[in-house]
Chains A and B, each alone.
Chain A
Amino acid sequence: MKPRERRLPLLLALAGFVWTASARAYPEFQTWIVKNSGRSVNCAMCHAHPDGPDGTGYGQIGRLTSEEMERLNFARRAIEPGAEVQSPILNKFGNLIVSRLGMKKVLELKLDPSQLPDTLDPVSDLDRDGIPDAQELRDGTHPLKKEDGRPWRLFVNNAQRNLSPLLLTAAATAAGLYGLTRLLHGFACAARAERRETEDSGEP
């Protein structure tokens, strides 16, 4: 397909997106993440509400105030990258994607969601769990929840980060055990000595 031909459906989709009053969730991304990672995800990976933007719950279109609607419309108009969007229907990660890529690119990526992680900042780590957001997207883990990540990756990152407390705890545990062992040996010796003394003195 030539670039111009490829742009036409994209522009049509974009126009539809900007002008429609209802929200648009992008299940293409969710479907790809689930297929790629084998892990169940929901809209809360990028949206404020787990069931997406449609509805009257927290972070859904039906509950937005006029000020929030303004922010939503600003985000919808952020076609080019670089705009600091704060859409109320998106979470921090969703807003970061739109700010970094722009809506035009996001819609383009709908056609091939597997490219989304490659377009993100490779070092950005919003939840500071040591796993970059792009990797979390591939893994199907939440980029804003530090307790959510592939177990082995989390374990390695956290072990490296907490090496000093771990070593100190190991040393303290070993020292405590050594002290306790000596103390118990001491008690046992004292009890034996007392028994011997009692036996020697002939007391019952």
Chain B
Amino acid sequence: MSLYSAIKRAKDYAAERFPIEKLNFHSMVEKKEVPVHRLSWGYYLGGAALFFLLVQIVTGLMLLFYYQPTVSDAHASVEYISDYVVGGALVRNMHSWSSSMMIACVIAHLLTAFAMKAFEKPREITWLTGVGLLFLTFGFGFTGYLLPWNQIAVNATKIGLQSIEQVGQYLPGQMAQWPRAIRETIQGEAAVGQATLSRFYAIHVIVLPFALAALLGLHLFSVQLHGMSRGVEDPPRRQEKFFPMFLIKDLSVWGVAFFLLFLMALCLPFESFSPYPLFEAFDPNGSTPDGIKPEWYFYFVYYPLELLPFGVILVGSGLAMLMLLLTPWLFRSTSRKTLRILALVGAAYFLGMTLFGEDIYHIFKGGGQ
């Protein structure tokens, strides 16, 4: 293939993904239509995730005014926010609840987009940026978890960072050293300490938000440019205008989401689901309380990690990630019916591990003893 034909192919590829004739307000908003069918509810999940992200940004900024990213003051500053700042407990709870709700929406959005074959040509970029956003969301969760500097945060982070280093024993040659180097870079010092907190803080409030803004911009632009995917095999019964009908419905979902979030944040402290010793200030000389585990959205990998050999999980996770990234090409010819079944299996696994992971762990661990 000559250079000229390669450039031409790349140009055609880009033109198909970013058609210039559609780059106007009329095409992207006024003319845009949304299919109406039995899976239409899936179209609102991305918007809901965006809403929770906006809440995260606003409440995160508010928390920044009081939060101190030092090992000596981090926990005290979080307690100060909850106990003494007017509305502090509400804002902190909104931040915690909205992070969980955002991750739930992002995962549901990914599964419905997969089931509706929303990665079909020319929407590959939309899919890839979406997968990138999913990883960034998990990154937000992982880095944000450490910031309160309590027992569960520090101990779970230690386990998470150890897992990164463990990857090294399965890599060949010089590559075996890379995970340790990555761990040391993230950790910043010999043990999880001030350098780790500073780095996690910087990643959480600067690096990830910038990366997210870039990917989200491309994702939303791509969605508006190509419109919503058809979603079902048969032609949809009808189409509705994106502006104003779909937008109004989307905003109504935002309204309901806001009220639910407010209700939860005001009435149900996020920490009430775990025993209080886990939320005490981290004491390097004190005893480690029982029940150290990551946030619920990591259970789908945490409990299998506790039950199966690390290598199995590593290979499984690697294949799953590769499959996610290559979805537009791997499932190009797969019917939506098959994709729906696969999405249901994925959802059942995620829900099963999240809700019953601990029970499953005890069943298998008990059986093995």
A residues lining the B interface (CB < 8 Å): 39-42, 44, 50-51, 57, 140-142, 145-151, 154-155, 158-159, 162, 165-166, 169-170, 173-174, 176-177, 180-181, 184-185, 187-188, 191
| B276 lies within 8 A of A188 (CB) | no
B252, B268, B271: the one within 8 Å of A155 (CB): B268
Q: Are A169 and B262 in contact (CB under 8 A)?
A: yes
Contact of A44 among B267, B269, B277 (CB under 8 A): B277
* Number of B interface residues in the complex (CB < 8 A): 35
The reply to whether A148 and B266 form a contact with Cβ atoms under 8 Å apart is no
The CA-CA distance from A151 to B287 in the complex, in Å, is: 26
Chain A CB within 10 Å, residue with most, of B247, B269, B289: B269
Given contact pairs A40-B277, A51-B287, A147-B89, A177 touches B255 in the complex (Cβ within 8 A): yes
- At the interface, yes or no: B286 with Cβ under 8 Å from chain A? yes
Question: B277's closest neighbor in chain A, by CB?
Answer: A42
Q: How far is the CA of A148 from the CA of B289 in the complex (A)?
A: 16
Contacts of A177 in B (CB 8 A): 251-252, 255
Q: Which residues of chain B in 228-257 are interfacial with respect to chain A, using CB atoms and an 8 Å cutoff?
A: 241, 243-244, 247-248, 251-252, 255
Q: Which residues of A lie under 8 Å from residue B30 when comparing CB positions?
A: 191
Interface string of B256-286 (1 = CB under 8 A from A): 0011001100111101110111111001011
Q: Judging by beta carbons under 8 Å apart, are B266 and A154 in contact?
A: no
**What residues of chain B lie closer than 8 Å to A188, measured between beta carbons?**
241, 243-244
Once bound together, how far apart are the Cα atoms of A40 and B268, in whole Å? Answer: 20
Q: How far is the CB of A130 from chain B (nearest CB, A)?
A: 10
Q: Which residues of B contact A (CB under 8 A)?
A: 30, 82, 89, 241, 243-244, 247-248, 251-252, 255, 258-259, 262-263, 266-269, 271-273, 275-280, 283, 285-287, 289-291
Partner of B280, one of A50, A149, A154, A159: A50
Q: Which chain A residues lie closer than 8 Å to B252 at the CB level?
A: 177, 181
Say yes or no: A51 contacts B244, CB within 8 Å: no
CB closest residue in chain B, given A169: B262
7 nearest A-B pairs in the assembled complex, by CB-CB distance? A147-B269, A158-B267, A184-B244, A40-B275, A177-B255, A188-B244, A148-B276
Report the bound CA distance from A166 to B277 in whole Å: 31
* Contact call B266/A166, Cβ cutoff below 8 A: yes
Known: A57-B283, A141-B272. 8 other contacts (CB 8 A): A44-B280, A50-B280, A159-B267, A166-B267, A169-B259, A173-B259, A181-B251, A181-B252
B280 cross-chain contacts in A, Cβ below 8 A: 42, 44, 50
User: A187 vs B276: C-alpha distance in the bound complex, in angstroms?
Assistant: 51
- What B residues does A149 contact at CB under 8 A? 269, 272
The reply to whether A154 and B275 contact each other, CB–CB distance below 8 Å, is: no
Cβ A162 vs Cβ B266 within 8 A:
yes
Partner among B271, B283, B287 whose Cβ is within 8 Å of the Cβ of A148:
B271
Report the nearest A residue to B262, measured CB to CB: A169
Residue from A141, A158, A174, A181 within 8 A of B266 (CB atoms): A158
* A178: min CB distance to chain B, Å: 10
25 A/B residue pairs, CB under 8 Å, sorted by A: A40-B278, A40-B291, A41-B277, A42-B280, A44-B277, A50-B287, A50-B289, A141-B272, A142-B276, A146-B269, A147-B89, A148-B269, A148-B276, A150-B272, A151-B272, A154-B272, A155-B267, A158-B267, A165-B266, A166-B267, A173-B258, A177-B252, A184-B248, A188-B241, A188-B243
